[in-house]
Amino acid sequence: MTQYRVVGTRPVRPDGSDKVTGRAVYGADVYLPGMLHGKVLYSPYAHARIKSIDVSAALAMEGVLAVVTGADLPPMTTDEIVQLGESAIGTRYMRDMILARDKALYQGHAIAAVAATSIHLAEMAVSAIKVEYEVLPPVLDVEYAMRPEAPLLHEDLTTRSLGQATGRHSNIASHMRAERGSVEAGFAEAHVVVEREFRTTMVHQGYIEPHAATAQVTADGHYTVWTTTQGSFAVRNCVSQVCGIPLGKLRVIPTEIGGGFGGKTQTYLAPLAVLLTRKSGRPVKLVMTRAETFRSTGPTSGAYIRLKAGARRDGTITALAGSMAYEAGAFPGSPVGAAVNVCFTPYKTDNLRVDGYDVVVNKPRTQAYRAPGATNIAFAAESVIDELAEKLGMDPLAFRLKNAVREGDLNTWNAKLPVIGLVQLLRAAMESEHYSAPLSGQNRGRGVAAGFWGNWGAVSSVHMVFNHDGSINVVEGSVDIAGSRASMAMLVAEELGIPFDQVNVTIGDTEMVGFANETGGSRTTYATGWACVKAAQNAIDNLRGRAALMWECATDQVEYIPGKGFISTADAEKLLTLREICAKMNATGGPVYGVATINAGGGAPAFAVHIADVEVDAETGKVDILRYTALQDVGTAIHPAYVEGQIQGGATQGIGWALHEGYVYDEQGNLKNANFLDYRIPTALDVPMIDTVMVEVPAPNHPYGVRGVGEACIVPPAGALANAIHRAVGVRLPNLPMTPEQVCMALVAKAEAK
């Protein structure tokens, strides 16, 4: 591995003190003179036609200055696709999601919003709005939604199949397929075949901070929005499309963000705040309650999955096939395409066929959640792969290693994989102290699973300005969720050969820095870090010209040595430090700067392998995790502590998804667990200390070998725990979450079968 001065160290994050002491400004902390408080009226029904909305009583209340409904939205002249992180949505659907017009499509669908002089008055005004509904049968199950007899959520939605319009009206928005070889021939030559069905439920990202947005408008029609978001430019685009405001008249300022994990790539309140401030002429702030956040914002998809896998006696996989239907929520756009790719990518096969279906149901439109779509399908795929290894009498890691993809092999979508580290991970797992440690005791088991995520690159922008003392102010457009200020400063410091504390990083708003895609998909350190490196290189070129001017020589006779300074190739005794040049910047042409914008493409793929030891209480079904190790190919660990934190955080969320978490709806589509008491995320009592093993296989297309690390870590936990439970008590669980009830039911069924 290359030896670095700054990269690989563990400096203290510059924003940490403000965040833990309460000085940092989050979405709900914004206060402006004359500010009004907003409140949203949400549909109590999962599926209902809106016959009329009467806001007169609300408007008649003293202190209520504005009310908006879907009728206040400007007409949509085009239906474009808007990119929101790793997902996309049509502008018409996005508008209907912000404010329902003809139909309410899920419990929690926004119907109207008010602005008043106090939050209590706003709540009273919302209660005074009268809505007449025609309640319709809800469609809550993805399998039922696909049937011809199921009620249609959208009368104008027709299915696209394999990229072609079918003209068929249904709740299936799209059907896609990845295929190569002949699965029929592959299964014919298999000596062992496993075929199983799986079901998973919607889960929420569980971020601590609810959604919040504040907007104000100036006399000349310029709008400013402060909001908690993973992407200020995405918010600007959404507000522009929904509210009909030119981009040049919109400024979006991202506040600090109290968690997102993909759930804050979509904005829900910013357009409403803009509409209310437009009507009232005063600043308006809206903040969701926790229950509103659960009911009205995007969780990630539940799914119905069928998989089939076959192998020869020697352990060679001969064929892999599958079909998956993902809940999109009320509007098309589930992560089923990513799920298709994740499904079998860790394993080589010449014969493969995977079908994916994007299906609308009467639930909130789904959003990303850390490797969106991957945890569901990896739970299913790793269970099937594990059962195949068991039937062949092979060690589960050895079986995976035998079939593991290498550089040049194909992913599920038939694209060649670049340099990857799956083989190194599997070997490290097999050689780990955890895997070789004895596990004794009744109802205890050890499970393993692998996971893949393609990662994302996309567009990032950076500009930096040098101060006279040689320190640097960097402005970048990626919202800092997990400490990227420090990572960006480290890469700049490394490239320039200066101390970390001489680099100050600011998160810019939409008027301070060039366009940047959202923080998500593990792209920030990869793409924005790359842009920082390029901006530093651009600055070095600028500074070489200043040195040449001072020495009265050609620029190509000046060389920069990081950590030392500028030297003359014509005169070895000439040396100028970075600080010396900056001190004379006004005399040599004015401010010294560096700029860069990069489209980093698809990112560097990442793999993870997890090992879990569990103990199952056969009477209650409770699963206790005894030991957990997460191994991951991290490329190059820029800040190892942050990398470890990402891996541990993702594993913890995956554990919650596996054992506890899931939306619970009744037959009418009412969400029954819209709070953190009933929606049970893991606590410190549920999760052991998670050991991390960082395997560094640098990505060759990145100047520092970076791979995104925040996604792959959530992919294997459910599969690893399912396989551990099987080895503990001999049952394979086909549904998530694997609650004590599910475990008990499986144990009873096993006993009855005997």
Residue 721: name the closest of 279, 382, 495 by CA: 382
Q: Is 41 exposed, middle or buried (0-12, 13-18, 19+ CB in 10 A)?
A: buried
Rounded to whole angstroms, how far apart are CA atoms 624 and 622?
A: 7
Residue 641 DSSP symbol: H
Residue 419: name the closest of 290, 605, 557 by CA: 605
DSSP H or E stretch at residue 646: helix 640-659
Could you tell me where the beta strands, DSSP code E, fall in 472-592? Answer: 472-476, 503-507, 558-561, 565-568, 575-576
Phi-psi sector, 276: left (phi>0), alpha (psi -120 to 50), beta:
alpha
Residue 352: name the closest of 383, 389, 381, 391 by CA: 381
- Of all residues in the chain, what percent are helix, strand and coil, respectively (each to 5)? 30, 25, 40
For residue 288 the two structure tokens come to 């969701």
Rounded to whole angstroms, how far apart are CA atoms 591 and 508?
A: 19
Rounded to whole angstroms, how far apart are CA atoms 353 and 340?
A: 10
CB 582 within 8 Å of CB 466: yes
Residue-level length of the chain? 754
For residue 447 the two structure tokens come to 């499970």
Dihedral sign of CA atoms 183, 185, 186, 192 in order: positive
Q: Which residues pair with 418 in a beta bridge?
A: none
Q: Active-site residue 711, yes or no?
A: yes
Supply φ then ψ for residue 370, to 5 degrees: 40, 105
Catalytic choice (256, 494, 661, 711): 711
CB 187 within 8 Å of CB 310: yes
For residue 154 the two structure tokens come to 């959208």
Torsion of CA 102, 44, 112, 299, to 10 degrees: -90
Q: Which residues are catalytic?
A: 711
